[in-house]
Amino acid sequence: MAQSENGTPDPHSSEAARAATILRCALDAAHEGLLLLDEHGTIVESNSTAAALLGRDPTSLSGVSLPAIAEPGDQERLHQLLLDVQRAGTARIDVHVAGEALHVTFRAVPQVIPRAIAVTLARERPAEPHLAHHLLRFGVPTIAFDRDLRVVFSNAAARRLLGDATLRRDAILGQERVGELRPLLQRLTRVDTPLRPTIVRLPDERFLRVHGLAATGADPAVLFAEDVTDELHHDRVMREFLRNAAHQLRTPLAGITAAIETLQSGAKEHPPDRDHFLDHLETHTERLTRITRGLLLLARAEAGETLATDSVELQPLLGEIAAEASPRRGVEVHADCQPGLAVLATRDLLHEALMALVDNAVSHTSDGEIRVSAVRSHGHVLVSVADSGPGIAPELHDRIFEPFFRATPTGEGYGLGLAIAARAVHAMHGDIGVSSTVGAGTTFTVTLPAATVTR
């Protein structure tokens, strides 16, 4: 115990020593690491928790420069931040010391020591328990990240969406993992306004709808995401269904309209003419019904539903298709198929696919013939539609099944017939191909599994 000049115990010194001991115990009992730095970043005081976090012996920290014990990539950032704290009063930063990721909070405390800086060290950001409390079980994928695009927080939904490796704590949200999302992440760290809902594409071809809150001060930016891949797919299917429906329905509707106008103009007064145009109405109405049913089946298949397939006998089907065709004068349409030959398919959808191929042949054949035929081959059936038209250039073969593509830009139609045929065949798990020679005609071939005729 300290003594006074006359040799008696000094009560003031005893109280000071006792207060220093209590202060030291309080510092060491703190859960967070605590440091006191001078204006140069040199450690003046520390507690045992800070020493443990920094991987140092408690007695060896005094007089050590804090930036000097950080990993090389963080040293310059710490030096700059120490200068900023003198002006701003507070700052936060994530650094790595001895392989440990630490969150560091700086606060100027000139009332203790002129130009002194108090430092708090922690493995977790102070904001994270608050975020976790509200967002850990939040159903919407949520990510918080700092201005260096380091992950501060992510909930389970976000990790399921983007993967644990992408969202591990302190991982950098790199371009190779998040694709088009990265520029939006950078925007949230640089522009102090919220991000409105935006659609982005990931490298794995999924689509996300994202929106977020910008980083403010020391608080991280927060991004909310939603996988809308299926939603966009269904929207696309619906748009294409409507486009295909308009294309396919125009022919029977035009036939029905023409028959009605002819009947109203006087043909109904002559029994032979009346019966002829009533037959036309019946034929076009049946085709309209079949087209509608086929398009609905196609839309359901493209939306992911499994089509019901059955044994479809080809001889009567090909005969119907040949009879429905409306070729130019002088062009004949023939059907060639052995009795009993059948495929595993959806009848209405197969009818529309083959009818689209025949319609395409009709539009490109001004003389000669169009032949619809079927043959068995190695457990499959090959159904072919061959014409004697001008043919298709080899460089166009890979594109003719694209929607709106036309081999002859001045030709009729909207370039949807072959696209509809291809999608219908693929929906039935079949294949479609083309062979053509310029000046010698074109043959489209549909391949489907062979089946046994059921009566």
User: What is the mean pLDDT for each group of 10 consecutive residues in the chain (455 residues)?
Assistant: 50 56 62 80 84 82 86 81 74 75 78 71 59 57 89 85 83 81 90 89 88 86 89 73 68 84 85 85 78 68 74 94 88 92 91 89 89 94 93 84 62 61 87 90 94 75
Report which residue type is found at 398: D
Closest CA to 131 of 121, 139, 148, 143: 143
Which residue is listed with tokens 């650094």?
95
Domain ranges of the chain: 31-122, 128-227, 230-306, 307-455
pLDDT of residue 399: 81
pTM over 0.75: no
Q: Do domains 31-122 and 307-455 have the same CATH topology?
A: no
Q: Which fold has domain 31-122?
A: Beta-Lactamase (3.30.450)
pLDDT of residue 306: 73
**In CATH, what number does 307-455 get?**
3.30.565.10
Q: Give the HSE-up count for residue 246: Cα atoms under 13 Å, Cβ half-sphere.
A: 8
Contacts of 213 (CB under 8 A, 6+ apart): 188, 194, 195, 221, 222
Contacts of 290 (CB under 8 A, 6+ apart): 348, 351, 352
- As beta bridge partners, residue 431 has 447
Measure the CA–CA gap between 19 and 200, rounded to whole angstroms. 60
Q: Provide the pairing of β-strand 331-336 with 368-377.
A: parallel
pLDDT of residue 345: 93
pLDDT of residue 411: 47
Domain 128-227 has CATH 3.90.1280.10: no
CB 360 within 8 A of CB 353: no
User: Which element (helix H / strand E) includes 409?
Assistant: none
Measure the CA–CA gap between 183 and 191, rounded to whole angstroms. 12
E-strand stretches of 51-206: 90-97, 100-108, 117-122, 142-145, 151-154, 195-201
Q: Which fold has domain 230-306?
A: Helix Hairpins (1.10.287)
Closest CA to 388 of 367, 412, 363: 367
pLDDT of residue 383: 96
Measure the CA–CA gap between 145 and 393, rounded to whole angstroms. 54
Distance of CA 220 to the CA centre of its chain: 25
Report H helices in 150-270. 156-162, 175-178, 181-190, 229-264
